Each structure stands twice: as structure tokens, then as C-alpha cells.
Chain A
Amino acid sequence: MLHLIFQVTLLCVSLSMLGLIYRVIKGPTTPDRVVALDAIGINLIAIIALVSMMLDTYAFLEVILLLGILAFLGTVAFSKFLEKGEIIERERDH
């Protein structure tokens, strides 16, 4: 029974990822694509958590935190590029 619930939840998360992939491909502006990629990263975390519950293992729990950090870093880097045109500045306020 619990396995069926996991499978249905995985299906729902996969469908929402499909919708986000549509937004990445179709999205009219670049910020749409960045936000959709960030949400795909979060959905990937949900999928990893569900799969680690289905496989009954603790081995993937580091991956969850890792993907959260990487999604945050990537989104911040993209946003800074969109706002300022450069990601790492040599010196601020000049």
C-alpha cells in the first residue's frame, strides 16, 4: 500500500517536472527559464527523497542537501548575470 502511494507521488512530481520543462523550453524571457530550472532542482530533491524511501536506504540523504545548495548557488549566479552582466566583480562600487 505504502509502495503504491510512493509510486503515485513520483508520478505527480514527474508530471509537474514535465510542466516545468515546457516552461524552460517555451518561456518567453530568460527569468522564466531560470525560475523554472530552480523549481526543477527542488522537484529533483523531492524525487530523490521518494526514491530513497522506496529503496529503504539512508545513502542519498547527503544528495538532498547538496542539490539544495547547488540549486541556490546556480540561481544566484544566473540572477547576478541577468542583473549586472558579470557574475564575479573585481571590485564593488566603481
Chain B
Amino acid sequence: MKNKVKTNDVILQTVTNVVAFIIILFSLKLFFSGHYTPGGGFIGGLMTSGAIVLLLLAYDIKTVSSILPVDYKIVTAIGLFLSVATGAGALLFDVPFLTHAYDYFHLPLLGKTSLHTAVLFDTGVYLVVIGVTMTIIQTIGVSE
């Protein structure tokens, strides 16, 4: 394992370019279908970080951080802020903390859609899961 053979990962990289998009689409599908079918913010975030891990496997940390120039600790902070702000926003309407509300809206392209504030809370969970997972993986990966 120590001898550094110059390898060519063209098959892995080509497959990754296609499959990473499919995994991200699947994770978004899992995230948005969480209210009525199995899924939700947690498993959607795990799948999105799975796609980023596949990119890390096929390329290296420097390339991936130039593709996705985000600091994952800030992603975690934004997610926590979204969840807390969704809960605290209920206090403005004289209802207990974390009370959610929903209503039906007529959107231009989608027609009659039910929009629920639990989606904002779930977005916070999604961002926190991505941030924590990628922070753990990158911290372990960088140290030598």
C-alpha cells in the first residue's frame, strides 16, 4: 500500500459526475416528501452529505472545496438559527413556543399548495445534519 503507483480514476470520476446528481435529487425528494411519506430532513441531509462524500472519494478535498466553497460550521449555525427562529416566531402570534401553522395558497405554477412552517424547521434539521456530518468527515480526513 505504501508504494505510490500513479493511478487513473477516470471510470470512478465519470460515474461520480452522473451519480452525485442522482443522489442529490433523491435527497431533495426525500426531504420534500417527509410530510406525507417516509423521509424528512434527517435522512435527506444524510443523503446530501453522502453525495459530497462520493465527490470527496473520487476527487480530493481541495477540488471539492473549490466546487463547494462553504464552511460547514457556518451551515450548522444557519440550520440551528432557522430551527430556533421558526419556534420563536410562534411567540409573535401569542401561541406557545414551537406552535406550527399551515394554510393553502395559490401559487403561480403549482396551483393550490399547502405551505407549512414545519418545512422551515425541517430545513434547519437538514442544514444541521449536512454541516455536522461534513465537519466530522473533513476533520478526520485532513489530519494525517
| Residues of chain A at the chain B interface (Cβ within 8 Å) | 58-59, 62-63, 65-66, 69-70, 72-73, 76-77, 80, 82-85, 87-93
Contacts and interface: CB of A to CB of B under 8 A. Distances in A.
A88 B61 contact: yes
Where chain B touches its partner, the secondary structure class is: helix
Interface stretch (B50-58, B87-95, B109-117): B50-58
26 contacts: A62-B30, A62-B39, A63-B38, A65-B26, A69-B26, A69-B50, A70-B50, A73-B50, A73-B54, A73-B57, A76-B57, A80-B57, A82-B1, A84-B7, A85-B1, A87-B57, A88-B56, A88-B57, A88-B60, A88-B137, A88-B141, A90-B61, A91-B60, A91-B61, A91-B62, A93-B6
6 closest pairs, A vs B, by CB?
A88-B141, A85-B1, A89-B60, A92-B60, A88-B56, A91-B62
Contacts of B137: 88
Contacts of A83: 7
Give the most central of A69, A82, A91: most B CB within 10 Å.
Answer: A69
Interface range for B: 20 to 34
Nearest to B137: A88
Given A62-B37, A63-B38, 15 more contacts: A59-B38, A62-B38, A69-B47, A69-B50, A73-B57, A82-B1, A83-B7, A84-B7, A89-B60, A89-B61, A90-B61, A90-B62, A91-B60, A91-B61, A91-B62
Contacts of B142: 90
A90 B60 contact: yes
Nearest to A76: B57
Contacts of A87: 57, 141
B2 interface: yes
B63 A66 contact: no
B19 interface: yes
Contacts of A93: 6
Given A69-B26, A73-B50, A73-B54, A84 B1 contact: yes
A87 B19 CA distance: 19
A82 B5 CA distance: 13
Contacts of A82: 1
Contacts of A73: 50, 53-54, 57
